[in-house]
Amino acid sequence: MLPATFKLCAGISYLHTRNMTGLRKNAMVAIHHELNRLAGPGPSNWISQVRRRSSLLSSRIIEEEGYSEEEMSYLKQGEDALQKAISILSQQDGWTIETVAANGDKVLSKVLPDIGKVFKLEVMLEQHPDNLYQELVGNMEQMGEWNPNVKQVKILQKIGQDTMVTHEVAGETPGNVVGPRDFVSVRCAKRRGSSCFLAGMSTQHAKMPEQRGVVRAENGPTCIVMKPCAEDPNKTKFTWLLSIDLKGWIPKTIINKVLSQTQVDFANHLRQRMANNVSMEMAHAC
């Protein structure tokens, strides 16, 4: 039903420095190394320091790259989504368990001022973060092939290497409990060290006005964080923060059940997709 996307996607665009020279380029290289240091080995350094530094750094780089006003707006929206999501994920207290699957997958929730109820999926996946990153970002438009909660994902516009605007059409729910929904989102993908951050939020785009007969729902801030397991770097600690407003007259009890189940289903569909990818690679190798 819902785009069980990450909705992904990450926010701060620390762009390349190939057009800079001299001291300016040296300064940017130093900044890049410092941000990589903040990303590891644990998440606490990233969470506590990236919020203080990202806004100033990204705004300077955006000016250097000469983006249009519209592009700068999308970059800023992605940055805001990432910072808000990291702030939420850094809060350790106040989470309520919604569901725990037999395999240990867990969904928690929390009510936040000005945002409402947010959901957090915590799972361990038997995949390296790089493989998951490629599937969720590199193959983003293929999500409808393996996730029945998503009918279609289309990239409307790309801004730089990390940021894009997408249109997602949700899949149907059994019994049509929730009618047709779609989303227009700004997404960014950011990697720091061995960790991957995928954050996003709702936006507007001229190429995709509201569609007749479809409710334009809203999401964000949302964020997926993928980090190698400390005991086995080929496994991934996968966290997905989800915040969605489906719009319309839907009882909260139904919304809560649908959203938490959507996250559990997404983890299972992603596992199956990755297993199929491995099987195909082995078949091709034979």
Instruction: Note the pLDDT tens digit of each residue in 178-192.
Output: 778 899 999 988 888
Instruction: List own/partner pairs for 40-47 with CB under 8 A and 24 or more apart.
Output: 40/192, 40/193, 40/194, 40/195, 43/195, 43/225, 43/227, 46/86, 46/192, 46/195, 47/86, 47/89, 47/90
pLDDT digits (tens, 9 = 90+) for 110-155: 999 989 999 999 999 999 999 999 999 999 999 999 999 999 999 9
CB distance 7 to 73 below 8 Å: no
Confidence at residue 63, expressed as pLDDT on a 0 to 100 scale: 53
**Distance of alpha carbon 228 from alpha carbon 161, whole angstroms:** 23
DSSP state of 211: P
State residue 172's pLDDT score. 72
User: What confidence score (pLDDT) does residue 250 get?
Assistant: 81
- The SS3 assignment for 106 reads strand
Say what the pTM is.
0.77
Residue type, 283: A
- pLDDT score of 85: 93
| Residue 40: per-residue pLDDT | 52
Map out the domains of the chain with their CATH numbers: 84-207+216-285 (3.30.530.20)
- Residue ranges of the chain with pLDDT lower than 70? 1-65, 173-177, 281-286
